[in-house]
A = this chain, B = another copy of it.
């Protein structure tokens, strides 16, 4: 029995997949908050290079991956598809559990897939400086490496709670030459205002986005870069699912269910969309399950409305499942799953009934992660632990029902730079937190009424 299905680098997919081409209707467009009209390429041009803007608005089914991007992907791609045999044995389940191991990238997560692409299109357009935000630091470190390789300066606003929880992420970004500020910071007006109101503000991704955006508009020649949420980011991540389809065929184990954590939604979209294409084509009946923390339940408790992507209301309005742009998450350890909203394209897919969503509490995720580390040897990122939790639950259900099935989950990253969080878990210091539904209703009063 083969544990890992590995592909040679000649099997790196040559195209990213755009699910928009296969949906019954397109997602609602972003709106300019001033005019309430659809935001066009010109509205986005101050922030992004045109190569990415064209992908953002594209209805084309496939996009060629540039050769220079493929060349960097060769460092870690194709990533292995792994059969979690020891985990199956520990669970005594008839189910077969597979995971796509995106933790093998240089930055330790799937974020490198889009970071390299985004740095490439910026370099192509002659941009020499980028500002971005990062939650747990996976995105920031991925982009730092990519910018280093393409000769671009990078400034990162890192959510303050993660800046302190994950100090090695900061080191990693700095080793690759990035400038890193804890957010809220004194470097922007929006940061200073937040600190004036509450000097102990832990930060949020929405606030860090506002800081990065302000940085870009106040530094001519700079561009902005986002690690999730937007269509072009989801597009780049589909390389995960494209590889996985080939590997599942080789392993003779097409998934009955595909599971992934959802924060901004890009890693989930990345593994799910290519399989979803095959379902839309009527070839399969695979289920898709997005897993979010109970502390930040945008899909399971949020509203599908137009909202801002950031606290300071600087982004276009995006139609998405949201907890409200001024949502301030609890300091849970899955820093990558603390965004107030879900990618518009994934929100659209969810609203069409093409996927399920479930919210899980943090301690149960760390327990699943510990079992995974004990059996499969890999210390997972707290984000990925959400997918592991539900994969285990699915495998236990299969055992109860006495049925075999193929479970595939996305191991989005390793947890080697999150070991401080594991310390807290082992010390029994972690608590669960469920975001209350009434707070969502209240937050909606700050969301602009559109349409």
Do A175 and B379 have beta carbons less than 8 Å apart? yes
What B residues does A420 contact at CB under 8 A?
168, 171
What B residues does A145 contact at CB under 8 A?
373, 377
A8 at the interface (CB under 8 A from B): yes
A280 at the interface (CB under 8 A from B): no
Do B377 and A422 have beta carbons less than 8 Å apart? no
What B residues does A72 contact at CB under 8 A?
377
Do A75 and B3 have beta carbons less than 8 Å apart? yes
Q: What 1/0 mask marks residues of chain A from 103 to 128 whose CB sits below 8 Å from any chain B CB? A: 01010100000000000000000000
10 closest A-B pairs by beta carbon, nearest first, are A106-B377, A171-B419, A168-B419, A3-B74, A416-B416, A75-B377, A171-B423, A148-B374, A175-B422, A171-B422
What B residues does A167 contact at CB under 8 A?
419
The smallest beta-carbon distance between A317 and chain B, in angstroms, is: 37
Measured between alpha carbons, how far is A370 from B171 in the docked complex, in Å? 12
What B residues does A10 contact at CB under 8 A?
2
A417 at the interface (CB under 8 A from B): yes
- Within 329-385 of A, Cβ neighbours of B (below 8 Å) are at 370, 373-379
What B residues does A377 contact at CB under 8 A?
72, 75-76, 106, 145, 149
What B residues does A171 contact at CB under 8 A?
419-420, 422-423, 426
Given A6-B6, A374-B148, A377-B149, are A174 and B426 neighbors across the interface (CB < 8 Å)? Answer: yes
A9 at the interface (CB under 8 A from B): yes
What B residues does A426 contact at CB under 8 A?
171, 174-175
Q: Interface size class for chain A?
A: 35 or more
- Within 1-35 of A, Cβ neighbours of B (below 8 Å) are at 2-4, 6, 8-10
Measured between alpha carbons, how far is A85 from B354 in the docked complex, in Å? 43
**Copy number of this protein in the oligomer?**
2
A86 at the interface (CB under 8 A from B): yes
Do A74 and B4 have beta carbons less than 8 Å apart? yes
Measured between alpha carbons, how far is A420 from B374 in the docked complex, in Å? 26
Chain B residue with minimal CB distance to A105?
A: B377
12 A-B pairs whose Cβ atoms sit less than 8 Å apart in the complex: A2-B9, A2-B10, A3-B9, A6-B6, A86-B149, A104-B104, A106-B378, A148-B374, A171-B423, A175-B379, A176-B374, A177-B374
Do B176 and A373 have beta carbons less than 8 Å apart? yes
A172 at the interface (CB under 8 A from B): yes
Measured between alpha carbons, how far is A110 from B72 in the docked complex, in Å? 25
Q: What 1/0 mask marks residues of chain A from 86 to 113 whose CB sits below 8 Å from any chain B CB? A: 1000000000000000001010100000
The smallest beta-carbon distance between A152 and chain B, in angstroms, is: 13
Measured between alpha carbons, how far is A3 from B72 in the docked complex, in Å? 10
Measured between alpha carbons, how far is A416 from B86 in the docked complex, in Å? 26
Q: What 1/0 mask marks residues of chain A from 61 to 94 whose CB sits below 8 Å from any chain B CB? A: 0000000000110111000001000100000000
Chain B residue with minimal CB distance to A104?
A: B104
Q: What 1/0 mask marks residues of chain A from 377 to 397 whose CB sits below 8 Å from any chain B CB? A: 111000000000000000000
Do B9 and A175 have beta carbons less than 8 Å apart? no
Do A416 and B175 have beta carbons less than 8 Å apart? no
Measured between alpha carbons, how far is A417 from B420 in the docked complex, in Å? 11
What B residues does A3 contact at CB under 8 A?
9, 71, 74-75
Best-buried of A6, A174, A377, A422 by chain B (most CB within 10 Å): A377
- Within 142-166 of A, Cβ neighbours of B (below 8 Å) are at 145, 148-149
Measured between alpha carbons, how far is A376 from B86 in the docked complex, in Å? 32
Do A379 and B172 have beta carbons less than 8 Å apart? yes
The smallest beta-carbon distance between A141 and chain B, in angstroms, is: 10
Do A374 and B149 have beta carbons less than 8 Å apart? yes
The smallest beta-carbon distance between A256 and chain B, in angstroms, is: 24
What B residues does A74 contact at CB under 8 A?
3-4
Do B6 and A175 have beta carbons less than 8 Å apart? no
A106-B379, A149-B375 provided; 6 other pairs, C-beta below 8 A?
A2-B10, A3-B71, A167-B419, A168-B168, A168-B417, A175-B426
